[in-house]
Amino acid sequence: MLGKNRLIFPGEKVLLAWSGGPSSSSMVWQVLEGLSRDSAKRLRFVPGVIYIDEGAVCGQSPEDRAQTLVEVKLILQTVGFPWHIIALEEVFSLPPSVLRYFAQEPTGTEGAYKAAVDSFLQQQHAPAPGEEQLSEPGTQGLQTPAGPPTAAQTEARPPTAAQTEALSRLFDSVKTLTAKEELLQTLRTHLILHVARTHGYSKVMTGDSCTRLAIKLMTNLALGRGAFLAWDTGFSDERHGDVVVVRPMRDHTLKEVAFYNRLFGVPSVFTPAIDTKAPEKASIHRLMEAFMLRLQAQFPSTVSTVYRTSEKLLKAPRDSSAGVPAGPRCLLCMCTLDIDTADSATAFGAQTSHLSQTPAPTPPATALTTPCCSAGEGRPQGCCQGAGPCGRDDPRACIIEHLCYGCRVNIKDLPSLDPLPPYILAEAQLRRQRAWVAQEIQEYLIEDSDEEAHTGES
């Protein structure tokens, strides 16, 4: 799958998202085999592994979390890749920049890929000292013992009691299990993205199998995320720009993964999920999973049919023909906004019509001379909060207007937005302030006419 798409260049740093489950463990083991010297088609990238500790959300006690981390470290030391163990509580210390899009550097044509391969092979045939230095990261065989932890291996700092309590309060305030699963997936993605950017990884590999992606496709349709199916289930996901999510296991079913793990003795770590022991109708995710697996047992081509349908989906953003979504992005999932407030006859317009019809509060006369969000006597630097040109009286409306349809549906199950991590609230406030400033200076901007723009392009 990787060789056919040629998405990962030689020498590129790739972060493997490992949850300890069968699919992600199989992915890590296959990468380990592909990097060995005896491999027929040797992989040429530099891998790293990340593990997110979600025990605080899944009901694990501190003793169980410590025991799980011991098993995780033992497997990661056996693999020998640089690893990063992060607790989910770290989302409360993320910067707002994790929710911003950074343009991706152009990868070049097929000729550039071949040139990169030739350059990598020349480095591999360098003299002995250089060869040892190049083959050191991530090229250990299956029987090679792992050395001591290097500087690239980072272990999770024990989360503070305040962070654990804040995380528990956040998930306890969510009403439905469906919204909890979506929120957990969102926070997990933000953590992985932050680690990838911090340590210089340009690609992230996930262990989503063919069966899991077929279930995810049907689930996202039910959750109102049909506009983003190509990004949520495709081989590559470029919504973040500088970090691309890759799904190399999407051609393998869960049964094939189970047979591979059994035959090659792939180790895995069992950890309870947030929906463990939940009834079948507890959430849309559980209901759709039970429906697909039951249908697959009666009609064995169900998963493959749904999977082939997902392959035909094209990444065609609104008002753009490029492969990357353009325009305003959702605050949580970072996809392009699919809300159309101009056409109130659509379902999306009806969803947000009450927001567009709410009149903005009239600023006082002093607001014309005193700049908003500026430091003054007895007033700190920041938003004026409340009535004023900075935003609406309702802070919930300021956040909802920056969400896509699917995230708006999930945020309804969160009665209060106060438990959300600070970086989400800060980014929403910053976007609102930028939108107000852009609206204020719009009448002073000089726009090129159609003839001038056409002349400039020619």
Cβ proximity of 246 and 31 under 8 Å = no
3-state secondary structure of 150: coil
Q: Band the pLDDT of 388: cuts 50, 70, 90.
A: very low
Return d(Cα 389, Cα 380) in angstroms, integer: 17
Mean pLDDT of 417-424: 92
User: Is the model's pLDDT at 147 over the cut of 70?
Assistant: no
Q: Which residue has the higher pLDDT, 34 or 375?
A: 34
Q: Which pLDDT does position 111 carry in this prediction? A: 59
Q: Band the pLDDT of 9: cuts 50, 70, 90.
A: confident
Q: Which pLDDT does position 444 carry in this prediction? A: 79
The strand ranges marked E within 101-148 are none
Using alpha carbons only, how large is the chain's radius of gyration in Å?
Answer: 24
On the CB side of 59, CA atoms within 13 Å amount to 8
Mean pLDDT of 6-20: 89
**Structure confidence by residue, pLDDT tens digits, 48-85:** 999 999 999 998 899 999 999 999 999 999 999 999 99
For residue 441, give every residue at least 6 positions away whose Cβ sits within 8 Å of its Cβ, in sequence order, or none. Answer: none
User: Is the model's pLDDT at 139 over the cut of 60?
Assistant: no
Cβ proximity of 54 and 64 under 8 Å = no
Q: Band the pLDDT of 114: cuts 50, 70, 90.
A: low
Q: Which of 153-157, 206-210, 351-355 has the highest mean pLDDT?
A: 206-210
User: Is the model's pLDDT at 397 over the cut of 90?
Assistant: no
Q: Which pLDDT does position 435 carry in this prediction? A: 82
User: Is the model's pLDDT at 123 over the cut of 80?
Assistant: no
Mean pLDDT of 246-269: 94
User: Is the model's pLDDT at 289 over the cut of 90?
Assistant: yes
Q: Which pLDDT does position 199 carry in this prediction? A: 93
Percent pLDDT > 70 in the chain is 70
Q: Which pLDDT does position 141 carry in this prediction? A: 36
Q: Which pLDDT does position 386 carry in this prediction? A: 44
Of the given ranges (72-81, 141-150, 318-327, 391-400), which has the lowest mean pLDDT?
141-150
Q: Which residue has the higher pLDDT, 359 or 269?
A: 269
Where is 257: in which H helix or E strand?
helix 254-264
Return d(Cα 252, Cα 210) in angstroms, integer: 5
Average pLDDT, the chain: 78
Return d(Cα 179, Cα 407) in angstroms, integer: 9
Amino acid, single-letter form, for residue 160: T
CA nearest neighbour of 207 among 275, 270, 257, 146 = 257
Amino acid, single-letter form, for residue 458: S
User: Is the model's pLDDT at 392 over the cut of 60?
Assistant: no
CA nearest neighbour of 273 among 350, 212, 329, 325 = 212
Q: Which pLDDT does position 5 carry in this prediction? A: 63
**Structure confidence by residue, pLDDT tens digits, 192-225:** 999 999 999 999 999 999 999 999 999 999 999 9
What b/e readout covers 88-99, taking b as 16+ CB neighbours within 10 angstroms? bbbbbebebebb
User: Is the model's pLDDT at 401 over the cut of 70?
Assistant: yes
SS3 content of the chain, % helix, strand, coil (to 5): 45, 5, 45
Q: Which pLDDT does position 373 carry in this prediction? A: 47
Of the given ranges (34-48, 194-208, 276-290), which has the lowest mean pLDDT?
34-48
CA nearest neighbour of 360 among 335, 342, 386, 334 = 386
| Other residues' Cβ atoms within 10 Å of the Cβ of residue 255 | 14
For residue 99, give every residue at least 6 positions away whose Cβ sits within 8 Å of its Cβ, in sequence order, or none. Answer: 190, 331, 334, 423, 424, 427
Return d(Cα 214, Cα 291) in angstroms, integer: 11
Return d(Cα 338, Cα 346) in angstroms, integer: 11
Of the given ranges (35-49, 88-102, 171-185, 241-255), which has the lowest mean pLDDT?
35-49
Q: What is the dihedral of CA 230, 9, 85, 241, to 10 degrees?
A: -40
Return d(Cα 126, Cα 132) in angstroms, integer: 9
If 0-12 CB within 10 Å is exposed, 13-18 middle and 19+ buried, where does residue 124 land? middle
Of the given ranges (155-159, 263-267, 332-336), which has the lowest mean pLDDT?
155-159
Cβ proximity of 339 and 405 under 8 Å = yes
Percent pLDDT > 90 in the chain is 47
